[in-house]
Amino acid sequence: MLLTNLEVVPGRRVVEHLGLVQGSTVRAKHAGKDILAGIKNVFGGELRAYTDLLQESREEAIERMVAQAQALNANAVLNVRFSTSSVAQGAAELFAYGTAVRLEDAP
């Protein structure tokens, strides 16, 4: 499965558009890590635990999107976008969406 956020793929052409596919996941923070993050709020700096958590969640959202695309027999998802929103205190939604297409090698 080819993922890209371009609208075209170099060297390939789109033979069929299969519509929008999306994947999302809502994750809550681990309470212990949240306390550590609270301490970090005093000192500042990167919250590595959160970075990893959000990255992991985003990968899961992508996996769900890819599963939808596979169900449509697509071999690529074009114009992929991400969005993050915090739905409640301590929980964030990671959302990925794009257009599923079937590609063929350009002649």
Partner 1 sequence: MNGILVILVLLALGYAFGSGAERRHYKSILEREEALRRVMVFSARVPPDLHRWRESRLVSGSVCVSADYFKAFVAGLRGLVGGRVTSYEGLLDRARREAVLRMKEEAQRLGPCKIFNVKIETASISKGGENALGTVEVLAYGTAVAD
Which is closer to partner 1, CB of 70 or CB of 85? Answer: 85
Task: Give the binding site for partner 1 (CB under 8 A).
Answer: 2-11, 37, 40-48, 50-51, 54-55, 58, 80-86, 88-89, 92, 106
Tokens of 87: 């739905």
Interatomic CA distance for residues 65 and 59, integer angstroms: 10
Q: How far is the CB of 79 from partner 1 (least distance, A)?
A: 9
**Taking the complex as a whole, how short is the minimal distance between the CB of residue 12 and partner 1, in angstroms?**
9
* Contact in structure between 102 and 19 (CB atoms under 8 Å): no
Residues in the chain: 107
- As beta bridge partners, residue 37 has none
CB 62 within 8 A of CB 94: no
Burial of 62 (0-12, 13-18, 19+ CB in 10 A): buried
Nearer to partner 1, 32 or 46 (CB): 46
Q: Which of 1, 71 has the CB closer to partner 1? A: 1
Nearest CB to partner 1, comparing residues 31 and 46: 46
Least distance CB 78 / partner 1 (angstroms): 10
